[in-house]
Amino acid sequence: MPLAHFDGALAVVTGAGSGFGRAIALALAERGATVLAADIDLPSAERTVTLAKTLGPGGAAYEVDVADAAAMEAFAAEVKQAHRVPDVVVNNAGIAVSGPFLDHGVDDWNRILGVNLWGVIHGSRLFGKQMVERVNALPNKPDKPNFGGHIVNIASAAAFAPTRSLPAYCTTKAGVLMLSECLRAELASSRIGVTAVCPGFATTNIVKNGTFVGGDAAQRERIRTRGQKALKLRNYPPEKVAERVVNAIIKNKAVVPVNFEGHLLHALSRVSPASTRLLARIPVQ
């Protein structure tokens, strides 16, 4: 059963200090939700809450490293104690590592797995458990069944297709997509929706803040600069992704590709996987 409106809802958004996270937090706030903005950069999260207060009920900011299991445990407990069980959880925090697979070190893998995959696992596990417990604790009325909540996991169009340039990123995002599908099946009986949102290229700081491996420093910086220019030229604002997230929650959608490349790669992965494997060979210079 989808959440039809957000008035009075409590929403947790990770990576809410910028990009998709900030846009999603503001979109939810504008529709009446109280937003708990979590980010590893506390001042950025506080700025998001300040903006949210101009649009809706506001909320609170939290400094959280989603890759830190203990920190996420403490965060989930604090949310429940200081506020209540959230109605919407958006596991958005993410980073990028780009370059050849053989140049990725163990630290590179640990970092991206920690944020992109473990962060989603922590958020889904901890808040999903709270939601299930809330549903089980309330008497269920056949004419008005309890709404358990909704979890949104931000994956990527990279979840649909491989590329030689982003082996770690694609791996983590494919994991987020499959985790979301599994979780959706498990939590359906508790009336908890789960959605994987898979954006293509959008105007965020993911390239600016990304890690580039392989080659020399000049080559890595050249790739970063080209990537930033490409995102700027693509000019797909995070606010449009936020709109798709809101719509996905309302309609309880399972998988949501976003923008042209998101839909294209999703379609190719289903009708012509060989095409995606050919595209994967194109190097980024």
Give the three-state DSSP class for 62: strand
Q: How far apart are the first and last CA of the chain?
A: 47
Contact criterion met (CB below 8 Å) for 87 and 9:
yes
What values do phi and psi take at 138, rounded to 5?
A: -100, 140
Q: Scanning the structure block, which residue is given the tokens 């719509």?
A: 247
Query: For the chain, how big is the Rg over CA atoms in Å?
Result: 19
C-alpha dihedral over 50, 51, 57, 61, to 10 degrees? -50
- Other CB atoms within a 10 A radius of the CB of residue 44 amount to 19
Q: Are 233 and 227 spatial neighbours (Cβ–Cβ below 8 Å)?
A: no
Q: Give the span between the Cα atoms of 187 and 196, in whole angstroms.
A: 14
Q: Of the candidates 93, 141, 138, which has an alpha carbon nearest to the alpha carbon of residue 116?
A: 93
Grouping H, G, I as helix, E, B as strand and the rest as coil, residue 1 is coil
Q: Indicate if 169 belongs to the active site.
A: yes
| Contact (CB, 8 A) for 191 and 146 | yes
- Enter the tokens of residue 112: 């991206």
Catalytic residue chosen out of the listed positions 6, 20, 169, 236: 169
Q: Which two tokens stand for residue 195?
A: 């959605």
DSSP tag of 56: S
Residues with a catalytic annotation lie at 169
